[in-house]
Structure 1
Amino acid sequence: MKQHKHTRKHRRRKSCKIHTHFDLNSATAFGGAAGLIDFVLQTGMDKYFCTEELGKRKDAQFQMDDVALTFVLGTLLGQERIFHFEDIEHDPLLMLKLDLPKLPDTTLLYKDLKRLGSPVGMEAIRSAQRLVLKSLLPKGHDIVVDIDSSVETVFGNQEQSAVGFNPHHHGRASFASSLF
């Protein structure tokens, strides 16, 4: 994955102190999220989205790292669907932290989501995830993932039930779920 030199935005993005004023001129719903936003920016995950394969024209208003950070931060701040991102498009805290005049709109997010779904985009996402996990784990330590599964036997032909491993009722349809 070739990485190219990044735009002006990457150098200017940084943790910054926010002065709190109790007025409604620049109100944000995410005032308590400044630390979380700083953490995401300090991981440097956006550099994995600055590849030639995912790149856009140099004069594009939003590069793929802007879009990726918008997805990550919006999701962390509770925006469950892309059309919910309309609510945060002009959020002053996010615009300040990302050093953008406004966030990408939903039309652009839908369009660029296709790029992130490509093999190159998926590799960029995996690399960013590994970077974040590596920064969270102390050096030399392993992580253990404990997976518990539960099986719920159904009676009849409920949608999405299937015959599978069922220790109590062999051969019966059930729902299986895993808890991490």
Structure 2
Amino acid sequence: MKIEQTFQDFDCLKKGNAKYPLSKIFLYLITGWLADCSYMFHFRSLQKDPLITAFLGEKCPHYTLLSKDLLRLKNVEDAAIEFKEREMDILEPWLDSNLILDFDSSVETVYGNQEGAKVGANSHKPGRKSYHPLLVFEGKSHLCLNGVLRPGLVHSSDHVIEFAEETYRLLSSQYFSGMPFLINVLVEKSFTVTGKTTRSIMPEN
């Protein structure tokens, strides 16, 4: 499977005889997220699922192992960019040659003291800590191409240009052969669309 093969370079972070190499863990995480497992403990419901077990080809790892294995990525320099580049390798074959990039921000409320969560504008749950993630979707396929998790107190447009430039660098040059890079930035605030801006960035040669 291409997804598992894409992440096999990370297997060296565990012992060679590990029952669940990191590439298998990543595949399981992706499968769980597709099954609406928003939190690690939600993976308990998948551990004995016959369809998931058959898909993975073996018994599912215990959900407590997932967080421990993700912490291993601290040993990888620029792990976030590494992941994004590999993700783009998987997604690009499904993209149209003419891209429409829609940038969205939203508010994700948390109910604890999660790292990086801050109190900010949150009309859904005023006074609650939250994240204010910034995401970019391809307008035709609706695939998510990039994302960054920001604290809840940032403004919707904070660092959006830097994020757009990072997204541009992740994409193959075939999409921007000397033509202006048109970005539609759809600004959301607490799940409500409050405005829309359009910027044009000419990629560097």
Q: Give the TM-score taking structure 2 as reference length.
A: 0.48
Higher relative contact order (CA 8 A, sep 6+): 1
The worse-fitting range, judged by mean Cα deviation, of 44-53 and 116-125 is 116-125
Runs of 4+ in 1 over 4 A off after TM superposition: 158-165
Alignment partners' CA distance in 2, 1:68 and 1:149: 25
In the alignment, is the contact (CA less than 8 A) between 2:104 and 2:188 conserved in 1? no
Q: Which of 67, 83, 102 is residue 125 of structure 1 equivalent to?
A: 83
- Once the 2 structures are TM-superposed, how far is the Cα of residue 45 of structure 1 from its aligned partner? 2.0
Report what 1:78 is aligned to. Answer: 36
1:93 partner amino acid? L
Q: Which of 101, 107, 110 is residue 145 of structure 1 equivalent to?
A: 101
Percent identity for Structure 1 against Structure 2: 24
Q: Does 1:69 align with 2:27?
A: yes
Report what 2:203 is aligned to. Answer: none
Residue ranges of structure 2 left out of the alignment (5+ in a row): 107-120, 128-151, 158-186, 197-205
Alignment partners' CA distance in 2, 1:164 and 1:78: 26
- Once the 2 structures are TM-superposed, how far is the Cα of residue 126 of structure 1 from its aligned partner? 1.2
Residue ranges of structure 1 left out of the alignment (5+ in a row): 1-40, 166-174
Alignment partners' CA distance in 2, 1:76 and 1:130: 18
Matched length: 121
Q: Does 1:50 align with 2:8?
A: yes
In the alignment, is the contact (CA less than 8 A) between 1:149 and 1:176 conserved in 2? yes
- Once the 2 structures are TM-superposed, how far is the Cα of residue 137 of structure 1 from its aligned partner? 1.3
In the alignment, is the contact (CA less than 8 A) between 2:47 and 2:61 conserved in 1? yes
Higher helix share: 1
- Once the 2 structures are TM-superposed, how far is the Cα of residue 46 of structure 1 from its aligned partner? 1.6
Alignment partners' CA distance in 1, 2:12 and 2:79: 7
Report what 1:59 is aligned to. Answer: 17
Higher strand share: 2
2:47 partner amino acid? E
Please tell me the root mean square deviation across aligned C-alpha atoms, in Å.
Answer: 3.6
Q: Give the TM-score taking structure 1 as reference length.
A: 0.54
Structure 1 residues 14-71: Cα deviation after superposition (integer angstroms, max 9, x where no partner): xxxxxxxxxxxxxxxxxxxxxxxxxxx4xx1222321267431122110011100011
In the alignment, is the contact (CA less than 8 A) between 1:49 and 1:124 conserved in 2? no
